[in-house]
Each structure stands twice: as structure tokens, then as C-alpha cells.
A and B are shown apart, each in its own frame.
Chain A
Amino acid sequence: MKIILLLIGVSLILALGFLAAFIWAVKNGQYDDDHTPSMRILFDDENQTNSKNKQ
């Protein structure tokens, strides 16, 4: 049953990794505007791929 210690340890390290990623993302400014990306995501890509093809 001592394996649980290892499991706990690993899961905590993994969780810490995610926390670190979150902290980095916040400090990088990715959460400064959380409303506009929700609108941006609904735009069609059609025109942009067209213009890319034109180039």
C-alpha cells in the first residue's frame, strides 16, 4: 500500500505543474481580456484562408 505515497506525490507534482502554468498565463496577460476572445471565436475563417491563398 506504500504505493499510495508515490501516487499522492506524483499527483501533487502534476497539480503544481498546472498551477504554475496558470500563474504564468495570468502574468503573461492572457486573462486580461476574457470577453473579446469569446466573440472572436465565432468568426468564419473562410475569408482569411481565401486571402491567404490570394497571397
Chain B
Amino acid sequence: MLLKEVSKRTGCKHCGEPCDSKLSEDFCCFGCEQIYILLQEHDLSQYYSLEETPGLSKKNNAHKDYAYLKEPETVEKLVAFQDKTMTKVSFSLPSIHCSSCLWLLENLHRLHSGIYACKVNFLEKKAIISFNHHSITLHDLVVLLSKIGYEPELNFSLLTPDKKDSPDRTLLLKIGVAGFAFGNIMLLSFPEYLGFENAAKLFFLGYLNILLALPVLFYAGYSYLKAAYQDLIQGHLGIHVPLALGMVTLFARSVYEILSGTGEGYLDSFSGFVLFLLIGQWFQDYTKKSIAFDRDYKSYFPIAVMVLQDRKWVSRSIDKTRVGDTILLKNNEIIPCDGQLISGVGKIDYSFVTGEEAPQNIKVGQRIYAGGRQTGTSIEIKVEKSVDQGYLTQLWQESPFKETTSSNAEHLLNKISKYFTIVILAIASITFTIWMFIDPSIAFPSATAVLIVACPCALALSIPFILGNATRILGKNKFYAKSTSTLENLLDIDTIVFDKTGTITENESMKAIYAGEPLNDHEKNMVYSLCNQSSHPLSVSISNFLSGVVVPVTEYEEIPGKGLSGICDNNRIRVGSTEYIFGSDSNGQHNVIIEINRKVIGYFSFQKKLRQNMLNIISNLSHYQLSLLSGDNKNEEDRMRQLFPKDAQLHFNQSPKDKLKYIQKLQSQGGKVMMIGDGLNDAGALKQSDVGLVVAENNNTFTPACDAIISSDQLPRFINILGYIKSLRLALYGAFAIAFIYNIVGLCFAVTGNLSPVVAAILMPTSSITIMVYGLLSSKWLARKLNEMI
């Protein structure tokens, strides 16, 4: 046993969060304590020794209802495989984040005897669990996972599966074949390196080399040939053209030389060339793997809903709801489709759709739109549009989403490769012509040597190794870019548009501001005690603001979403909305009024807290053209004005469509726009912008159609991130410079007719490896900028 220093543990044993000593010294909440005890009972305490406080806090976990998992139909849809006794299911477990998680999950069978095995894929945060369905049901399994803190993410997209096959397998196979060929051809080429040309002919080594090189050209390198062909048809000289040209020339000339006995060919350089290209491609895919990105709007919706059938409530999967069905939605549930409220009191939070922060009151008979969230008591809705046609999905089907983004990928590369091809062809023809006059026998060899040695592979490798590695490093710093082209686009932007809700303001904590007659201590305590009884976010906000002493409250009554009332010390206290206190409509004001003994004393209004350092962040960005778009009304205008520079444009009352149109307007004026938002309500704008950046509070937030995600706690470092990306551009130029030098050296050999296979075999792999190493080292070294303080 290693001796560990006894560290002063100042937080929860399970999750490390600070402990409220009133409850327990060792745990921050009951949930964490429960998990700890459960694991101890099953002899699984090693969970805690692998990583420090490996758990995630259970404090804020809303209790989820998994009742719909008891329905056989739903179960069937989620299950991957099933036979008489065993069921295999694949879950996405977004809470997986460390080796303790991996350990615990793979030891799941020790928590319940009905579970056979669990295999985790760490990068994808998925687990495949096989269990005996007679011994434990799917429902119970999900409850168990939820209990230990690894709640599976069950979402709508699982019901309409589009199977993604493993495309990397072909890449691996190609690398295997190319590597095999490269190694063996080099081995067989040894005699000629050492000067024994005759040996090669004697033992038919040349023919063997051709045999080995055939699969490299037609299998491993095939995709480059195909891409180049397509490029040429479209009349576009992309990077694939010089690559394919080099490949074909190498192969053709080598085969000619071998078959005609005039030389040994360059098949070793050829197979090495293909091999390094494929490795570059593999590395690029590798950097993308750790960033799970492709979720669309469907993953946001719940998977099942209660439908009224023959006078009974039945849990049915969402895609089965039809127009005319009556569905039941409870507090905090998301409305899956447009409909009409037929029973209950609707208090719908549309913050995801319109950005409006405060819930809207909907009366029976009024319309309710998909994407809202019910806050308050249960409501019944009559479905008017089935899920596919809801308002929200219409927004998604706006043009930006339909067009698959033509990859801006490598647009810098394509620019260079265009000139590259032309220049090389020019040099080759000039070489050919000049030699024709001096010594015709060297003309053809040197022209083809030019085509062979001019290695654009250095260009092709610089993007994956510099930008790809940078994407990975940024990912470790909680900035997830969708692809390397995102980084390239970031370099070009000149305009930044901010969303207000959730981006500039925090999503959660609200600041209460009091207006009215000052409360004396006694009144303060009474209001505090009353509000303490309620868990409504506004009440919590008020109690945090007042922080008084608890006084006993009698006759406590809470009308969800409306107000509270109670008696403290013989005073009747009422706290609530305008509608609750006065019975009249609130005209859009969302204040909470304090009434003591039928006399209105004052009211609280609420301000969402600004994110930390927002002023600093915005002032650092002042050299960009800045704008603010908010779905809220103008009551925050003054506060926002203070944050932004004078020439910034602030717009309020923006609907998602307005935001989208604004971005389009800026772009038509020639601007390169980056939109910073928080996800769903500015989704159209995010997709339309050149770079859509989402600020995420937790890494489990889905983010459809954006180009990058930044974790909210990293937002202050955004300026460092931009600085890093800019420095990458210099690194790229450095790579091009190295490639240039190699090419010049190689061309010197080629043009003078001195490009022997040995020289080629040395030059080409060396140049590729140099670029790769340089790319990795430079992107790593420049990353130290990320930690600098501005």
C-alpha cells in the first residue's frame, strides 16, 4: 500500500462539494450519502480510491419518473438484443468522466445479481449492459443507474434510430495494408540502397514490389484518386489533385522502370506517401472522437408521454401521438407538440423558444406550443399538430438547417494547392523542355521526378496535425470545436453577436431587488419564513436576499406559480404575483408583491445575475463590431448599455426568427459573424452565423447545429482562446515554410536529374514526419498562451 499524505478533506466524501455541517460532516446531501453507503454495502469502495471524490453532486437532481419504461413497447425500442433470458441494452451515460466511473460501471454486476456484465466506451460515454430480464427489469436497471449517479440519457432520437456504421474500420484496414506494403517494399529495396542493383533484378525483387504496391494504389490510396477525379470534373484544383498526381506518377514511372529493366522504381516512396497521408487522416478522426457533437433537436424532447386512451392514462412513446389525442403533462415536463390547453392551469416557460424568461400564463382554450415547459400543476393538452410539425421543428426546417454546410474545411489549403499544382506542372514542363535541348534522355525522368518529389503531402498533413491537435487541446480546456474548419473560420470573424439570456446572464441564480417601504426586522423575518417554505425559484431568491431568522408559520398555503400565504405572529402575510394579490392581469410585469395584513408594503423584481467578468470579457472584444440580441423586453436596456461599448447595437424583443434575420443582414453587408448564445432559442441564428458558439453550463447540454461549445466557466478565457487560435495561423505558415524548403531541396535533385530512389525514399518520408512532429509540438507549445492572464 502506498503511503498517502493525510489530506484535509473539506468537502463531501462522494462529490467534493462543500458540506453543510448541519446535515452531516462527510456528505453534502442525502443523495451522496446514499450512494456511499450503497457502494460500501456491496464492497465497491475502491470507487473512491481510484480518483479523488469521483462522484457528481446529487444535490440538484430532480426526481425523474421512469414509469414509461415499464411499457413493453418502449422497452422494445430501447433494447439492442433480446433472447429468452438475456437482454442487451446500450445507454448513453453522460456523467461518465473519470476512471472511477469506468471501474464502477464495469463492476455493475456486483450491485445486482441480475446484471451479467457492463462494458463501457469511455470516449463516447456509452455503456452496453446485459442483464437477465426476469431478474431485473429495464425500468429497475435505469433506476439503479440513476441511484448511483449515472442516469442514462433517454431521448427521442433513440426511437428513430439511424444506425451509424463504423467508417473508421476501413481507414484502419487501409493503414494496415499500406503499412504492410511500405515495410516490406522497403525491406526488399535494401539491396539497391546499398548499391547492389544487380541483386534486385536477379531475385525479381522489382516484380514483388509491384505486387505489393498494387493494393496500395487500388485500395489504400483509392479515395484520394476518386476525390481528385471529382475535383477535376468540377474544374476545381483542390488538394487532392496534386496528391493524386504525385501518386499516379510515382506508381506509373516505377512500374515502367521495373518492367523495362531501366531502374528499380520508387515504390517504397510511393507506399510511404500513401501511408503517411492515411495516418494524417486517422489522426484527424482521432481528435474528433472525444468530442461528441451530433445531436439534433430531437434529443431534446422526452421519449414518452401519458396519453388518454379509453378513459385511462397510458404511457406511450412520443412518435405515436396523433392529432386529437389528449396528453397529460406534469410539472417541469416539456411539451412535445402544439396543442390546446383543455384542463389545468398553464404556466409555460418558453425560455428555450422565445428567450422570454418568465413563464406565460395560459388559460383553458388557448394555444400551447411545443418546446415550452410546464411549471406548476399538471395540465391536459389536446394535440393539434403531431410532433413532426410543431412550431419548433418548423424553425429547425428553416433553410440554414437544410443545407448541409459545404465544408469550408481546408479552404486555406485549397487556395494554396491550386497554385501548387500549377507551379509544379509549370516547373515540370520547363524542365522537360530544357533537357530536350541538352540531353533528351534525361528529359522524361527529370520531369516525372519533379512531379514525384513535389510533395503536397506536407500541406495535407499540416492541417490535421496542427489544427487537429489544437482542437484536442482546446477540448481539454473545455472549448469544443466541431472541426478544424471552425478554427479557421474563427480567424476571419469581425463581428460578434451576443445573446442575452443564458449567455450574458447566468441561467440560474437571480438577484432580488426590493422596492417599497423598508421592512423592519420583524417583517423581514416573517416574509423570510414564509418564503422559506416554498421551493419556487423566486421564493428561494427572496429568502436568499432577506436571510432572516425563521419564525413559525401557520396556515401555510401555496398556489403553485402564483403565490404564498400564511400567518406569522398573528399577521397574515401574502407573497405573490400581481394576479394573486390583486386578481388582475400583470401587464407583463413579473414582480412579486409583499402584502402584510392586507396592506401592500412593497415588491421584489428580479434580475438575472451577470456572468462573472462579463464586463472584462466584452471590453477585451471591443475591437470587433459587437451587437446584443435579446428575447426579453427593454427593462434591462440600461444595464446592458453599461456593458457594451458605445457603438454596439442592442436589440430587444427578438424572436428566434428575428435573430436569424439579423445575422443574415450582417452577412449580406459583408461581415463575418460569430454568434454567442446558449442553445435552443437562438439556434437558427447560430447555424446561420459563420461561427456559432454556445455557452454551456454543463457539458451534458446538447447543442444542435452550433460550431463550438464553451463551458460557461471558461468564458473569461475566451480571449486567450482566440489568441491561441490566431497563433496557430502562424504555426501553419511555419509548416508551409518547412514544406517549401523540402520541396526546393527535392526539386534541386529532380531538376538536375539526380533523383535516385534512395534520395526520394529519404526525402519524402522525412518531410512528412518532420511536418507531423512540428505540428504536434508547435500546437502544444503555443497552448501555453491559454493559461496566461490578460
Contact = CB atoms under 8 A, between A and B. Distances in A.
Interface in B148-207: 166, 168-169, 172-173, 176-177, 180, 183-184, 187-188, 203, 205
Given A8-B208, A35-B123, A51-B43, A42 B99 contact: yes
B103 A15 contact: no
B106 interface: yes
B176 A19 contact: yes
A7 B751 CA distance: 39
B184 A26 contact: no
Contacts of B106: 40
B68 interface: no
Given A26-B173, A35-B123, A8 B180 contact: no
A23 B173 contact: yes
B172 A26 contact: yes
Instruction: Please report whether the interface of chain B is mostly helix, strand, loop or mixed according to DSSP.
Output: helix
A35 B50 CA distance: 18
A31 B208 CA distance: 30
Contact of B120 (A8, A12, A36, A51): A36
Interface string A20-55: 001100110101110110011011100100010000
A25 to B, nearest CB: 9
Contact of B184 (A5, A15, A22): A15
B607 interface: no
B177 A19 contact: yes
Contact of A4 (B50, B203, B289): B203
Contact of B43 (A15, A33, A47): A47
Contacts of A40: 102, 106
A39 B43 contact: no
B10 interface: no
Contacts of A33: 121-124
Interface residues of A, number: 26
Contact of B176 (A5, A23, A43, A47): A23
Contacts of B99: 39, 42-43
B527 to A, nearest CB: 52
B536 interface: no
Contact of A32 (B166, B183, B290): B166
Contacts of A15: 180, 183-184
B178 to A, nearest CB: 11
A44 B99 CA distance: 12
Interface in B280-306: 289-290
B478 interface: no
B657 interface: no
A11 B212 CA distance: 13
A19 B173 CA distance: 9
Name the interface size band of chain B: 20 to 34
Contacts of B397: none
A39 to B, nearest CB: 5
B46 interface: yes
Nearest to B102: A39
Contacts of A19: 176-177, 180
A32 B208 CA distance: 33
B110 interface: yes
Nearest to B212: A12
Contact of B46 (A8, A32, A44): A44
Contacts of A35: 122-123, 289-290
Contacts of B124: 33
Contacts of B110: 51
A47 B46 contact: yes
A39 B169 CA distance: 22
A47 B121 CA distance: 22
A23 B179 CA distance: 12
Contacts of A4: 203
Interface string B420-442: 00000000000000000000000
Nearest to B119: A36
Interface string B89-111: 00000000001001100100010
Contacts of A27: 169, 173
Interface in B494-547: none
Given A31-B169, A51-B110, A5 B203 contact: yes
Contacts of B120: 36
A8 B172 contact: no
Given A22-B176, A47-B43, A12 B166 contact: no
Contacts of A26: 169, 172-173, 176
Interface string B299-338: 0000000000000000000000000000000000000000
Nearest to A19: B180
A36 B123 contact: yes
Interface string B429-469: 00000000000000000000000000000000000000000
Contacts of B177: 19
B10 to A, nearest CB: 27
A35 to B, nearest CB: 5
Given A19-B177, A23-B176, A51-B43, A36 B121 contact: yes
A42 B50 CA distance: 10
Given A8-B208, A44-B46, A36 B172 contact: no
A29 B172 CA distance: 11
Q: Nearest 8 A-B pairs (CB), nearest first?
A: A36-B122, A19-B180, A22-B176, A33-B121, A35-B123, A26-B172, A39-B99, A39-B102
29 contacts: A8-B203, A8-B208, A11-B187, A15-B183, A19-B176, A19-B177, A22-B176, A22-B180, A26-B169, A26-B176, A27-B169, A27-B173, A29-B166, A31-B172, A33-B124, A35-B122, A35-B123, A35-B289, A36-B120, A36-B121, A36-B123, A39-B102, A40-B102, A40-B106, A42-B99, A43-B50, A43-B99, A44-B46, A47-B46
Given A8-B188, A31-B172, A40-B106, 14 more contacts: A8-B203, A15-B183, A15-B184, A19-B176, A19-B177, A19-B180, A27-B173, A33-B123, A36-B102, A36-B122, A39-B102, A40-B102, A47-B46, A51-B110
Interface of B: 43, 46, 50, 99, 102-103, 106, 110, 120-124, 166, 168-169, 172-173, 176-177, 180, 183-184, 187-188, 203, 205, 208, 289-290
